[in-house]
Structure 1
Amino acid sequence: MHSLELLLDDATDAAVRAHWRRLLDADLPSQARHTGASNRPHVTLALADDLPVDVVAAVRRAVGASLPLDLRLGGLLVFAGRRPVVSRLVVASTALLDLQAAVVAALGDEAVDPHGQFAAGAWTPHVTLARRLGPDDLGAVLEVAGEEPVDLVGRAVELRQWDMTAKVTGTLVAAQ
């Protein structure tokens, strides 16, 4: 399985990592606890079973000169469930929605959407702050994360591939 992700400019990346650090310092669930080399703030655009050379070329053409792309991280977003996830919403600009739709279309038959999260009108762009929250964590995570500024303006500067099986990342498109 492969994840196609937008990476953030240095300043926005650092601001999100500061969110992670504040949660960690409060002894709460945080993406800062994931110390793997692949862990960095990102916006997942799509998932694919495989990325053959022709599909990678199609994705690169679809993204083209779209990067850098202005992004605005807004308020907190909770994905409910048995183990909730807290994220920062990424405001869905027309340019961002168009880019995500183009990437999904370029993936063609390789696109995977097991939970219906990446289809037009169903995708919720976000940057994860904390995952797998326990029953007593949600309120505290929201309190600490809610101390952050509501709007954070930045840019997406790279489209990265994360190969979940091989545990490797690679740049597909970088801002010019």
Structure 2
Amino acid sequence: MAHSIELLLDGHGDAAIRTVWHRLVDAGLPSQLRVRSATNRPHITLLAADRIEPAVDDELAPLRQRFPLPVVVGAPLIFGGGRLTLARLIVASVDLLDLHREVYRRCLPHTTQEPFAHSAPGHWTPHATLGRQFTPEQVGEALAVIDELSGDIGANVVGLRRWDGDSGREFPII
């Protein structure tokens, strides 16, 4: 199972995303709220790989000086594939992109294989997932359900964690 390095939102940003998760469930649609893991919470994945060694935590800890980092939770976003993923775009500021490049650089020596291609600088789309496995029809329904909640939201990134997909555990770094 994949491992990842993730940014965590402040209470305001977290609550805004969770409100959308609840609205989707109430409408009978896919939602991240249905993920039954103690570590399930709104986040922004910076890097994903087959395995990230725990030693990366010490490499990433000095980045604490960059937090809190203001972000804007923007428009709904749809990722394609067989089934669709609905997310909210995290507007890519210069500071956020710089943090992503630095995390990526520091993580490379601690991954057993190259990180997943969509994690690489220049290929990364910052986002917070709302739900997975949507049909095209469900995406239309979901956008109607969340329309009133789709305005830009100001938030701060306040934490950084390593998520271990093998154990299903999170390891706070900052």
Aligned twin of 1:84? 84
Q: In the alignment, what sits opposite 2:6?
A: 5
How far off is 1:120 after superposition? Answer: 1.6
1:130 aligns with 2:122: no
Which amino acid in 1 is paired with 2:28? Answer: D
Shift of 1:135: 4.3
Cα distance between partner residues in 2 of 1:152 and 1:135? 26
Match of 1:164 in 2: 165
Where 2:135 maps in the other structure, the secondary structure is coil
Hey, what does 1:67 align to over in structure 2?
67
TM-score, normalised via structure 2 length = 0.92
SS in 1 for 2:133: coil
Deviation at 1:113, TM superposition (A): 2.7
Q: d(CA) in 2 for partners of 1:19 and 1:158?
A: 21
Cα deviation, residue 37, structure 1: 0.7
Equivalent residues in 2 for 1:1-176, closer than 5 Å: 1-48=2-49, 49-53=51-55, 55-61=56-62, 63-111=63-111, 112-114=114-116, 116-173=117-174
Cα distance between partner residues in 2 of 1:135 and 1:98: 34
Distance 2:82 2:76 in 1: 18
Note the C-alpha offset of 1:77: 0.4
Task: Give the structure-1-normalised TM-score.
Answer: 0.91
Counterparts of 1:47 and 1:117 in 2: how far apart (Å)?
A: 8
**1:13-33 CA distances to partner (integer Å, 9 max, x unpaired)?**
111100000111111111111
- Distance, in Å, in 1 between the alignment partners of 2:105 and 2:32 is 30
Give the unaligned 5+ runs of structure 2: none
State the Cα deviation string for residues 99-131 of structure 1 (Å, max 9, x = none): 0110000012334433x2112211000000111
Question: SS where residue 137 of structure 1 aligns?
Answer: helix
Partner secondary structure for residue 38 of structure 1: coil
Question: Are the equivalent residues in 2 in contact too, given 1:76–1:146 (CA < 8 A)?
Answer: no
| Structure 1: gaps of 5 or more residues | none
Secondary structure of 1:65's aligned partner: helix
Identical amino acids, percent of aligned pairs: 40
- 8 Å contact kept, 1:51–1:110: yes
Q: Letter of the aligned partner of 2:160 in structure 1? A: L
How many residues end up aligned between the 2 structures? 170
CA RMSD in angstroms comes to: 1.4
Q: How far has the Cα of 1:171 moved from its partner?
A: 0.6
- Which moves more between the two structures, 123-132 or 31-40? 31-40
